[in-house]
């Protein structure tokens, strides 16, 4: 690791290492080989690691519990992607957050190949203490559906994207780092 890279990151690495009670060098090496390891292509550079750690530190995200990921981009680099648990932390720790509700269509879609019957749409409603009206985002199943993969359990790989999509509008801090549609699939809830 060059001195040029170490100096600007020193305080950030020290803060992150202190949070986990580990040596700075060991933290950097461990993150590169575990939480931010890339399947294909070159490893994470020091500059990319700095970008990931800045985002993790700014929003209090833990890379070891998959709150933030290093997602490969089309230029063989990486971008910070906030995971489901990360969005949950950002939303729940925001001082103006005042709860959320889910609403779903009464109409059930049975037309998508390989899909179980699901509501045609789902809404996430986020309430803020400083707003008179809630922020509502509606996701349509036919725009987000991906066929289930084998062996994923009885409901397939569905998850609710409503809170994470809505967080972009409801919680200002979450507008800075896009999930890139990484969570645009649904969780089938008991109807």
Per-residue pLDDT tens over the stretch 174-189: 433 344 433 333 333 3
Which runs of consecutive H residues, i.e. helices, occur in 21-128? 24-33, 46-59, 84-93
Query: How many angstroms separate the CA atoms of 13 and 59, rounded?
Result: 15
By CB neighbour count within 10 A (0-12 exposed, 13-18 middle, 19+ buried), where does 124 fall?
buried
End-to-end CA distance of the chain: 54
Query: How many angstroms separate the CA atoms of 147 and 112, rounded?
Result: 8
User: Residue 175 has which token pair?
Assistant: 């507008």
pLDDT band at 168 (very low <50, low <70, confident <90, very high): low
Q: Which residues contact 6 (CB under 8 A, 6 or more apart)?
A: none
Residue 14 CA from chain centroid, whole number: 25
Question: What is the tens place of the pLDDT at every residue in 142-153?
Answer: 777 776 644 444
- Confidence at residue 134, expressed as pLDDT on a 0 to 100 scale: 93
Query: Pick the residue with more confidence: 82 or 133?
Result: 133
| Residue 43 DSSP symbol | P
């Amino acid at each position: 690791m060059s001195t040029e890279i170490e100096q600007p990151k020193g305080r950030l690495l020290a803060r992150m290492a202190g949070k986990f009670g580990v040596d700075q060098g060991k933290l950097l090496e461990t993150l590169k080989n575990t939480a931010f390891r890339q399947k294909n292509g070159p490893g994470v550079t020091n500059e990319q690691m700095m970008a990931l750690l800045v985002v993790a530190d700014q929003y209090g995200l833990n890379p070891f519990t998959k709150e933030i990921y290093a997602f490969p981009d089309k230029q063989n680099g990486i971008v910070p992607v906030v995971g489901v648990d990360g969005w949950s932390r950002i939303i729940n720790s925001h001082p103006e957050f005042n709860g959320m509700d889910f609403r779903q269509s009464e109409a059930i879609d049975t037309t998508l190949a390989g899909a179980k019957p699901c509501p045609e749409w789902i809404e996430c409603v986020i309430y803020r203490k400083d707003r008179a009206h809630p922020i509502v985002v509606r996701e349509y199943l036919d725009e987000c559906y991906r066929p289930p993969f084998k062996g994923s359990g009885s409901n397939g790989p569905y998850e609710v994207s409503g809170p994470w999509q809505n967080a972009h509008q409801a919680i200002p801090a979450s507008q800075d780092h896009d999930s890139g549609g990484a969570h645009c699939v649904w969780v089938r809830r008991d109807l």
